[in-house]
Structure 1
Amino acid sequence: MKNKHALTRYRLIDNRMTIRQKPAPSLQEIVDYVSEKLGMPVSVSSIQKDIYAMRYDESLGFNAPIEYDPQKKGYVYTDSNYSINHIPVSEEDLQGLEMAIGLLEQFKDIPAIKVFEDSINKLATAVKFSRDQSSNSQVLILDRPKRYQGIEWMTDIVDAIRQKNELRIQYQPFNRPDPRKHTVHPYFVKEYNGRMYLIGKDIHPYKASKFLTFAFDRMLDVVKMHRTFQEEMVDKENYFRSAIGISMTGQKPEKILLQFNPEQASYLKSQPIHHSQQIIRDTKKAFVIQLELVINYELMSVLFGFRDY
């Protein structure tokens, strides 16, 4: 994948190539134009490589008809109507953009995202226009990402994580009639199965503190405190690696042997239950796999889903 600087240069080269008042720019004129717009010097060799990529790099999809015209002593598009801005958006690109926009719209109140609100709205309008232009009938129907419940707490939670501030959370557990108040050191946020969760250390006044998972949609109130905390070393990327879902029981992963009907083998091969899945036996009588996981509610729910097959 090309880096963002190369993509910016492609756009600038295309802009210079399509200035009607100054046709057929020389290589040096293109270099000067791109350097001026970027506010930094760009080498001749970089522009030469960019021109080659715009013309021949299939991964870009530009297929730019750009050639050097010896009579005009400059570069031209052999198709006078060509511009990389005129390349139609593919169906695959539209699908990806629609899903991305749906997610961005949910987080647009977060300061880091809010500054791009106008850009998000413009992009949404452009995608809708492209969709309307491409077809009057929708062939592929995609579920628009649902609005996360409790998303209104995201700004304070993200700020507290970044600034290492304590949080006071009023929380309504599923299994208790009354809400509880928690003092929490927030560490990171995880999305799972259409819900948002905060993983943090619950600071108890007289019991041992421990890491808990708090569902956004069970939060009744969230207050960012001025008090800061010293973050512990936590492998956030692999925190849930030995579990399905977001329930951590505090137990170590166990090796689990599971036997399924042979008819279920094809599905389990194409859709493994977990990345630790290993095939132990695959015969006409039984399909046996091994998992190395923490036994939790989510795992049991997955397994119960196979009982009717």
Structure 2
Amino acid sequence: MGKKLEGIQRMLVIINKLKERQRYVPREELEEYVRLRMEERDATPVDIRTIQRDFKDIEDLFGICIRFDKKRNGYYINEEDSLINEQYERLLLNFDLLNALDKTSNLHTYVLAEHHRPSDTECLPALIKAIKFSHPVAFDYIYVREEGRMRNKKVLPHYLKEDQQRWYLLAYDNNVLKIFNVDCIRNLRIYYEETFKRDMDIDVNDLFKDSYGIWNQPDIPIENIELSYSALDGRFLKSVPLHHSQTIIADNETEFRITLRLRITNDFVMALLARSSSLTVIKPLHLRERVRKVYEKALQRNA
């Protein structure tokens, strides 16, 4: 396993341990926990000195300060100094590298990782650091919808957001807030000699609350949507709602009907098609027509 990957995994193991209900973790307990977790990954054995060096990297990379309380004889996360917020909490809980399976590890013999997990996560730590310390970044960006055309970008990074197992960078490009798929970023460079004032007034949750996934287009109106499904599909949609605005208006043996309020983007239409064997679009009519045309073209291709 590469040393860089080992280091990131070890840091996240430390954070997860210190974020448990136990407020103060004794030195021996932390060392044993990290040793066992890294042993599971066939990683290099570590001692308390290595772990203590990781504390500095954790503070630099994540803004999480780890301290030792002599009276309580344990390490703890200093919440007052920490920059933890909802975005960093989610980042730490879902960080792909924590569960990354190295080719040399025997974890694959009993852990079945998803084949489509994003692979280009190497630049995530660098992007986090650039965001934390307000450094501009530059990179070559692949435009998939333009037949793979690549353009150079220099942007002001503000947030990282995960959606459907992909990471996205929210950054200002020429004073316009844009979204970049991290998978499409190449040759990332950080301008350490430059800084900018980060816009802390951006309400990220509000930015996407009326959209499905990461696609936010203010020019697309927010609409009331009504959908009908079979009772069987309804069970799945109750456990994993399409959108936070989902409201159940009928739930019986013959029908499961819901209403939603959001922008009808391509991503949303694709989500509808993914579970459409029993789908009936009640309203709006233009969405019903859009779904019908997709199936018409599919029938023509597969006739």
Structure 1 residue 277, shift from structure 2 partner: 0.9
User: Aligned pair in 2 of structure 1 residues 150, 284: CA closer, same or farther (>3 Å)?
Assistant: closer
Residue identity over aligned pairs, in percent, reads 24
Moved more, 151-160 or 180-189: 151-160
Q: Which runs of structure 2 are paired with 1:1-309 in the superposition (5 Å)? A: 2-5=21-24, 7-8=25-26, 40-42=70-72, 103-104=97-98, 141-143=111-113, 148-177=118-147, 178-203=149-174, 209-225=175-191, 226-232=193-199, 233-250=201-218, 251=220, 253-283=222-252, 286-309=255-278
State whether residues 149 and 216 of structure 1, in contact with CA within 8 Å, keep that contact through their aligned partners in structure 2: no
Alignment CA distance shift 1:163-1:2 (3 Å): closer
Query: Structure 2 vs 1, CA of residues 257 and 174 (structure 1 numbering), >3 Å: closer, same or farther?
Result: same
SS at match of 2:123: helix
Please give the alpha-carbon distance, in whole angstroms, between the structure 1 residues aligned to 2:205 and 2:95.
25
Amino acid of the structure 1 residue aligned with 2:184? R
C-alpha distance in 2 between matches for 1:104 and 1:212? 27
- Deviation per residue, 1:266-290 (Å, 9 max, x gap): 2222322122210123355543211
Alpha-carbon RMSD across the aligned residues, in angstroms, is 3.9
Aligned amino acid, residue 152 of structure 2:
K
Q: Which has the higher contact order (CA 8 A, sep 6+)?
A: 2
- C-alpha contact (below 8 Å) 2:96/2:121 kept by paired residues: no
User: Equivalents in 2 of 1:101, 1:190: separation in Å?
Assistant: 11
- Secondary structure at the residue paired with 1:151? coil
In structure 1, stretches of 5+ residues that fail to align are 13-37, 44-98, 109-120, 132-137, 204-208
Question: Contact conserved, 2:97 with 2:121, CA < 8 A, in 1?
Answer: no
Rounded Cα–Cα distance in structure 2 between residues aligned with 1:176 and 1:283: 46
TM-score normalised by structure 1 residue count? 0.53
User: Rg: which structure is higher?
Assistant: 1
Cα distance in 2 between the residues matched to 1:198 and 1:190: 6
Read off the aligned partner of 2:140 and give its amino acid letter: Q
- Residues 106 and 151, structure 1, Cα contact 8 Å, conserved in 2: no
What are the Cα deviations for residues 2-54 of structure 1, in whole angstroms up to 9, with x where unaligned?
3331x439959xxxxxxxxxxxxxxxxxxxxxxxxx762359xxxxxxxxxxx
CA shift for structure 1 position 173:
0.8
Cα pair distance change 1:154/1:270, threshold 3 Å = closer
1:186 deviates by: 0.6
Would the alpha carbon gap of residues 162 and 274 (structure 1) be closer, same or farther in structure 2, given more than 3 Å must change? same
- The DSSP-based 3-state class of the residue aligned with 2:202 is coil
Offset at residue 159 of structure 1 (A): 2.1
